[in-house]
Structure 1
Amino acid sequence: MTEVLRTGRLALHPVSMSDHRALLTHWTGPLVRRHLFDDRIVSPVQVTEIIAASQRDFATEGYGLWALRAVRRGGPAGAALDRAVDLAMSGASLVGVVGLRRHGGPGGRGGPDGLGGPDGRGVDVEILYSLEPDRWGLGLAAEASRAVLDYAFGVVGLHRVTAEIDAGNASSAEIAERLGMRPWRPGPDGPDGASYYAADRARWLGSRRAVDAVP
């Protein structure tokens, strides 16, 4: 199976060490780290560990973190060109990250840096994303997340994917709802803490088939 994903505006590539500098810059931005790392500044060593954990997860689980870059438009169509465009995008500016990680869910154990690797057996899989602030409000987070959920349910065969939404992060809640995710459980801190949304495979694939059936 291919782990490179495409949308109308984005190319999604599994993160690699060649993305290290771009990821460090992105994740240390004050508006990005506020919700992704609880406003803690991630170190270069932590970025290295996050990339390595994602690579291990792709090798063992089939999913991890994807770097988002804009797709160039124009030119003739064709699979060969698509591959060439995707390869060219490795040198383009990073616009964000989207990914899946194994996560303990409410009351469970997450990675120490907020993007850590596997927690063990029986955990849920969580979707997470971040965008450069100048790309907010363009629908890119929902576009990338939809591609990853299609991959999660249609390719990997996951049964459920959850999303943890920080209190006050209304835009992320709106994205989860736009994706068709539903409130799942209250957060560990009650109504003022994080909230959790979930999408399940049967509902997701059913809704996608309904969309595809519309002439």
Structure 2
Amino acid sequence: MTDVLRTVRLALHPVAMSDQAALLTHWTGPLVRRHLFDDRLISAVQVAEIIDSSERDFATEGYGLWALRPVRWSVDADDPGPAAPGDPLIGVAGLSHHEGPLGHGADVEILYSLEPDHWGQGLAAEASRAVLDYAFGVVGVRRVTAEIDMANPTSAEIALQLGMRRPPDGPSGPDGAAYYAADRSRWIGYRPVVDAVP
């Protein structure tokens, strides 16, 4: 099993301590943190703790957080070259476990963030599809949830594009957040457009 994922436009590498400075810059950007950290600034120590937690999750659960970097295309080749950890980080996508709000015990939650200059290009959905394919197809996760800040309607649209659905009688989260979910059996039957490459 490989932890490195690739789509047509993105290379997803598990976050590592070498990403700490780039992640701190990304996650403390005012437009990014508004929906991720309830507009709170996080510290370099907190970023290191998140990276450490992701590394433990990869070791024990088979999933964690991936750093998103653009795939480098060769002028003479039809195949994309790999992005390297030193390439610019344009976002993060991944999975984290938490106590679920939908009455099913512990849930696996999908998370993502993008640099604002990459918004509106479909990259969050592209990265999230690769993460969900990995979660359901490789790791065998049965269910993935998403906590959507309803002040960010784009995230709700992405969840719907991914085939996630909001339970009609589902609970509301903090500050009016909504919960969406996708099940493995539905995902495999749904088969949304996949931009992952082998």
Pairing 1:1-215 to 2, within 5 Å after superposition: 1-74=1-74, 75-76=76-77, 85-86=81-82, 88-106=83-101, 122-184=105-167, 185-188=170-173, 193-208=176-191
SS in structure 1 opposite 2:22? helix
Question: Which 4+ stretches in 1 moved above 4 angstroms?
Answer: none
Taking structure 1 as reference, are residues 106 and 140 closer, same or farther at Cα in structure 2, changes over 3 Å only?
A: same
Say if 1:107 and 1:188, in contact at 8 Å, map to a contact too: no
Tell me how far 1:188 sits from its aligned partner. Answer: 3.6
Counterpart-to-counterpart distance in 2, 1:178 and 1:207: 11
Counterpart-to-counterpart distance in 2, 1:107 and 1:150: 22
Counterpart-to-counterpart distance in 1, 2:189 and 2:50: 33
Give per-residue Cα distances to partners, 1:79-133, cap 9 Å, x unaligned.
xxx6xx32x521110000001000112289xxxxxxxxxxxx9400000100000
Identity of aligned residues (%): 71
Taking structure 1 as reference, are residues 142 and 3 closer, same or farther at Cα in structure 2, changes over 3 Å only?
A: same
Structure 1 gap ranges (5+): 109-120
Structure 2 gap ranges (5+): none
Paired letter, 2:164:
M
TM-score by length of 2: 0.90
Paired letter, 1:72:
R
Say if 1:70 and 1:89, in contact at 8 Å, map to a contact too: no
Structure having the larger proportion of residues in helix? 1
TM-score by length of 1: 0.83
Of structures 1 and 2, the one scoring higher in RCO (CA 8 A, sep 6+) is: 2
Counterpart-to-counterpart distance in 1, 2:186 and 2:193: 11
Counterpart-to-counterpart distance in 2, 1:103 and 1:199: 16
CA-atom RMSD, angstroms? 2.1
Tell me how far 1:208 sits from its aligned partner. Answer: 2.0
